[in-house]
Structure 1
Amino acid sequence: MNTFKKIEQSQVTISELMLPSHTNFSGKIHGGYILSLMDQIAFACASKHSGNYCVTASVDTVDFLKPIEVGELVVMKASVNFVGRTSMVVGIRVESEDIHSGIIKHCNSSYFTMVAKNDKGESMPVPGLVLKTEKEVRRFLTSLRRQEMKKNHRKETSFNTELRNEDLEILRNSHKVELQY
C-alpha cells in the first residue's frame, strides 16, 4: 500500500437523472434519497483512497440549500479532504442541472467521516494525502479544525445524566416544555 495518495486518485463523480419515484409529498426530490446517494459516493471515494471497505462514522451538517426537481440531472463530486489514522473526511458537493436550460444550482455540500475496515471489521490505517494546492491545504486544515471541534463538543456534552435543580429551572424558564413528573 502506498503511504501517500494524491487527492485526485480517489475523487469520484456520479450523475443521476431524478425521477418521479424519488420525490417527496411536495413533488421535490426527497432529501433522504439525496442522503443515500451521498453516502454511496462517500463510500466509493473513501474505499478508493483506503483500498478497504469503509463505513460511515458521522455526517457533518447537511444543509439543503435548493430543492431538486424531477427531470434534473444531479451531479455529486466527492474528494478526500482529510485523513486521520483510520478515518477520512470526504467532502461532497451536490449540484443539479436543468437539462433544458443548462442552469446549474448548488444544492448541498456535506462532509462524511468514513472509517476503513478489514474483513474482520477492524479499523485499518489509511494512506496519507499529498496536498499540492492551497485549496487542498485549506480543505485539510478546515477538516482538521472541524474534527477538533467535534471532539471538544463531545466532551462538553457528555455530562452526568443526573438531573440537577438548576437544569430543571432552565427548562421551566427558557424552553417550551411542561414538566409533569
Structure 2
Amino acid sequence: MESKTASESFIIMNELVLPNDTNTFGNLMGGRLMYWMDIAAGIASGKHCNAPCMTASVDNLSFKNPIKLGNIVHIEAQVSRAFNTSMEVHLRVWGEDSLHQYRYESNEAYFTFVALDPNGKPRKVPALIPETAEEQALYDGALRRRQLRLILAGKMNPDDASELRALFFKS
C-alpha cells in the first residue's frame, strides 16, 4: 500500500447559513455545523484511503466565534495522521460575512475515521507523509491526541501512553 501526502486529502466545503440552520439568536446551530464538518471529514478520509469510512470519534471541537445567518461557512479538512485502520482528520472552519467583506475564524476540531472493507470491517489505510512544517506539527501531535482519546474511552491504560506521559513527566 503506497503512502499518501496530507495534501492529497485536502478538501474545502462551503455552505450558506439559511434560516433553518440557525438558533433563536440568528447563529448557526452547533449541531448543523458538526453535521457539515462530519461530511467534510468523511470526504477527506475517503480521499486518503480510497474506501468508505465511518466516524469513530469527535474531539476538541472548539467554538471560537458564531457564524451568523446569511454568512458563508468555509470548512477545510485534511488527514493529519493515519494509523492502522484509522485516520485523524483536522478541520478548520471560517465564517465569511459577504456584505461587510470579512472572514473570521469560527471553529477547529479533530475527527477520527475508520476505513471499511466491503464487509463493513476495518481495513488498513495508507501511511501519511507530512510535507509542510504545519502538517508535521499536526502529525506529531496526533499520536498524543490518539492516546488521550483511547485513555478517555477506557481502551488504553494511562501508564502505556508513552507519548502523552512525556509531556508531563521527564525521564
TM interval, short-chain normalised: 0.7 to 0.9
Alignment correspondent of 1:132:
131
Alignment of 1:39-50 (within 5 A): 39-50=38-49
2:153 pairs with 1:149: no
Taking only the aligned residue pairs, the percentage that are identical comes to: 33
Inter-partner Cα distance in structure 2 for 1:85 and 1:151: 14
Residue 117, structure 1, aligned to residue 116, structure 2: yes
Q: Secondary structure at the match of 1:100?
A: coil
Gapped runs of 5+ residues in structure 2? Answer: 158-171
Report the CA distance between 1:25 and its aligned residue.
2.2
Cα–Cα, structure 1 residues 78 and 154, in superposed 2: closer, same or farther, change >3 Å? same
Give the TM-score normalised by the residue count of structure 2. 0.86
Structure 1 residue aligned with 2:80: 81
Q: CA deviation at 1:130?
A: 1.5
Say yes or no: does 1:67 pair with 2:59: no
Return the letter of the residue paired with 1:22.
D
The Cα of 1:76 is off from its aligned counterpart by 0.3
Amino acid in the other structure paired with 2:11: V
Displacement of 1:156: 9.1
Q: What amino acid is the match of 2:143?
A: L
Q: Which moved more, 1:132-141 or 1:107-116?
A: 132-141
Q: Deviations over 1:27-82 (max 9, x none)?
A: 21111100000000010000111111000000012121111101111100000001
RMSD: 1.7
Establish whether residue 34 from structure 1 lines up as the match of residue 33 from structure 2. Answer: yes
User: Greater CA deviation, 24-33 or 83-92?
Assistant: 24-33
Structure 1 or 2, whichever has the larger Rg, is 1
- Number of the residue aligned with 2:22: 23
- Mapped partners of 1:154, 1:16: distance in 2: 32
Contact 2:147 2:156 in 1 (8 A): no
Distance 1:21 1:153, change over 3 A: closer
1:114 aligned partner, one-letter code: F
User: Where does structure 1 differ by over 6 angstroms across 4 or more consecutive aligned residues?
Assistant: none
Structure 1 stretches lacking a partner, 5+ long: 159-181
Aligned to 2:106: 107
Aligned pair count reads 157
State the Cα distance separating 1:114 from its structure 2 match: 0.2
The AA in structure 1 aligned to 2:41 is A
- In 1, are the aligned partners of 2:150 and 2:156 still within 8 Å (CA)? no
Letter in 1 for 2:99: H
